Each structure stands twice: as C-alpha cells, then as structure tokens.
Amino acid sequence: MVSTAPAGVPPVSGVLETGLYVDDLARARDFYESVLGLKPMLADSRFCAYEAGPASVLLLFLRGATTTPVELPGGTIPPHDGQGALHYALAIPTDAVEDWAAHLAARGVVLESRVDWPGGGISLYFRDPDGNLVELATRGLWPNY
C-alpha cells in the first residue's frame, strides 16, 4: 500500500479495532455469535472481543461499563463510552452475498438495503439488536478494497 500521508507523518497500517456500545451484552453476544458466526477471543462482564478478519477486532462494550479507567499490569485503559446507532462494515467474498442474504432471512434478520456499487462491490445492510447498522461488503466498494 502506498502512503498518501503528508511528509513527516508516521504511517498507519490499518484499523485494528472497532468498538460498539450495547445495552445488553448477553443479547448482543448471542446475535454476533449465532447470526454472524464470530468467535470470542476475550470477554468479561463489561466487554467481548471478536476476531473479525486478519488483524481486525470487533469490540462490544456494555454501555456505561467503561466510563472509568481500567488498570492493567501494563498500563491504564482510559475511559470511553458511546451513544447512538453506529455503522461498520465486515468484508465478505463476492460469491457469499446470496448465501448471506439467505442466512440473514433464515435467522429473522431484516435486510434493510442492498447496494450495488459502481466499482463492482455489493453491500448488504441490516441492524444488530442495539440498532447499529451492520454492513457486509465485497471487494469493489472502495478503491483500496
């Protein structure tokens, strides 16, 4: 990948984590594990971390449970929290679009929209139990994907 950052700016190699805030962690975990098939890597009463592809982690935080610092042996995680419906996209193979649409329908998940992008990509949009907009997207969505 060719960097387009201004001279002197250190490189960024990707988005490592995406965090969502949920009202019911057990309900959210059920959705992400049974509907999306994600496997937890680490979890406790305030969060769950899922592998979401190579070098990509999806974090679910119980809303309000991360508003105080967390002290770890290696340092402190500063407080954070969020409100409102957020959006993120997971990458899927192009040949899996119809399988995903059928899988979501079979699980009772309403497909809110499908977009066929000019570059050849396809996006499927639906909501998680907390109203976050989930996008499943194929190559051709962006110039770099």
Residues 6+ apart with CB under 8 A from 55: 14, 16
* 121 CB-contact burial (10 Å; exposed 0-12 / middle 13-18 / buried 19+): middle
Q: Where in 69-121 does DSSP place strands (E)?
A: 70-72, 75-77, 87-91, 113-116
Q: Is 85-145 assigned to CATH 3.10.180.10?
A: yes
Residues of the chain within CATH 3.10.180.10 domain(s) are 85-145
Q: What is the pLDDT of residues 13-48, one digit of tens each?
A: 889 999 999 999 999 999 999 999 999 999 999 999
pTM attached to this predicted model: 0.91
Residues of the chain within CATH 3.30.720.120 domain(s) are 14-67
Whose tokens are 């499927």? That residue is: 124
Query: Is pLDDT larger for residue 37 or for residue 11?
Result: 37
Strand partners, 90: 136
* Type of residue found at 12: V
Q: What is the pLDDT of residues 90-127, one digit of tens each?
A: 999 999 999 999 999 999 999 999 999 999 999 999 99
Query: Is pLDDT larger for residue 2 or for residue 29?
Result: 29
Which option is the CATH number for 14-67: 3.30.365.10, 3.30.420.40, 1.10.3720.10, 3.30.720.120? 3.30.720.120
